[in-house]
């Protein structure tokens, strides 16, 4: 009678490999939405997205400044204008589509669960829009790259870099695990704000229009209002009786929005309130000099030049 060979137990290396592969790849597809697997960046874990973010950080913090150290700043007004026009069109389309999908955001205030088995047209369309919104956050990297190539170091602020670094990761999580439902509220608001923001940037490339672009600070205020609404929306979703929307996404949304609200508010105070204080001080200096007759006409004009530089 022939004795069949026993199946050998897996080796330690095979066991380790299986565990690593599960954590690196299989686990993400098991707990994620199966309908997004065939989209670029969405099969497996967030490793490609993280690699792209790290590459962005390496360029804007190391490679870019080193490359431009001994070079003149590039004049990129033409490419920047085209870029801004493209971003206006892209975000405008997201906002228009969001108005249709979410009924101007009102549907996102309901408890809308994501059915990962649904292949209805509207559900698959939401996934496509969500994935394109994710890709747009990589395109936004060009903002910082243009600043670097133009040697606008002051504009490459910690807030700017942190914001652009986090958004692709947060959007990846939304598309991977909850493409649709209540997740549509933030992209709807964000695309509307970005449409206004890139319109401002496009207009600012024309020197003749810059005196009329007094409304820049209101864009920052719109961004802060956006984060407040996201926080309120997430808390409201938590309080809907019987809503089975995963609470971890609500907590993550609240944390993310609250963090950026604090950062943008700090930026707003530093940028606009300090500028206002300098303008008031300069105005008081001019007024005092005029009343006392202690300064010449040339000296009285100096503060106004400084004010223009600050603006």
User: How remote is the C-alpha of 294 from its chain's centroid?
Assistant: 51
pLDDT averaged per 10 residues, the chain (length 311): 57 83 91 95 96 97 94 93 97 95 86 88 95 97 96 91 95 93 91 96 92 90 95 89 83 91 91 67 54 40 35 31
Catalytic residues: 163
Per-residue pLDDT at 277: 62
Going by C-alpha positions, the residue among 113, 104, 115, 141 that lies closest to residue 34 is: 115
User: How remote is the C-alpha of 276 from its chain's centroid?
Assistant: 28
Tokens representing 266 are: 């700090």
pTM score, whole prediction: 0.83
Radius of gyration in angstroms for the set of CA atoms belonging to the chain, rounded to a whole number: 26
Tokens representing 128 are: 């496509």
Residue holding tokens 């920047």? Answer: 80
Measured between alpha carbons, how far is 248 from 59 in angstroms, rounded to an integer? Answer: 33
- Judged on CB neighbours under 10 Å (0-12, 13-18, 19+), 61 is middle
Per-residue pLDDT at 203: 94
Per-residue pLDDT at 92: 97
Going by C-alpha positions, the residue among 46, 44, 40 that lies closest to residue 22 is: 44
- Judged on CB neighbours under 10 Å (0-12, 13-18, 19+), 32 is buried
């Amino acid at each position: 009678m022939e004795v069949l060979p026993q199946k050998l137990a897996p080796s330690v290396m095979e066991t380790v490999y299986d565990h690593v592969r599960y954590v690196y790849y299989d686990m993400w597809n098991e707990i994620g939405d199966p309908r997004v697997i065939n989209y670029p960046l969405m099969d497996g874990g967030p490793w490609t997205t993280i690699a792209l973010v790290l590459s962005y950080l390496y360029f804007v913090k190391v490679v870019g400044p080193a490359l431009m150290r001994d070079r003149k700043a590039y004049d990129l007004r033409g490419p920047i204008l085209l870029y801004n026009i493209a971003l206006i069109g892209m975000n405008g389309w997201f906002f228009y589509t969001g108005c249709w999908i979410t009924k101007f955001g009102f549907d996102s205030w309901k408890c809308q669960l994501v059915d990962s088995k649904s292949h209805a047209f509207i559900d698959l369309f939401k996934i496509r829009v969500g994935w394109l919104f994710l890709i747009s956050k990589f395109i936004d990297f060009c903002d910082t790259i243009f600043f670097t190539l133009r040697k606008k170091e002051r504009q490459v602020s910690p807030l700017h870099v942190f914001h652009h670094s986090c958004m692709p990761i947060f959007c990846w999580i939304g598309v991977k695990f909850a493409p649709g439902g209540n997740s549509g509220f933030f992209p709807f608001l964000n695309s509307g704000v970005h449409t206004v923001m890139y319109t401002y940037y496009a207009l600012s490339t024309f020197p003749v229009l810059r005196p009329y672009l007094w409304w820049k600070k209101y864009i920052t205020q719109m961004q802060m209002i956006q984060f407040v609404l996201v926080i309120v929306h997430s808390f409201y979703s938590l309080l809907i009786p019987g809503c089975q929307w995963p609470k971890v996404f609500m907590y993550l949304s609240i944390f993310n929005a609250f963090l950026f609200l604090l950062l943008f508010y700090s930026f707003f105070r530093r940028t606009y309130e300090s500028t206002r204080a300098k303008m008031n001080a300069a105005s008081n200096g001019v007024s005092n000099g005029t009343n006392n007759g202690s300064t010449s006409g040339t000296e009285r004009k100096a503060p106004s030049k400084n004010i223009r530089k600050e603006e």
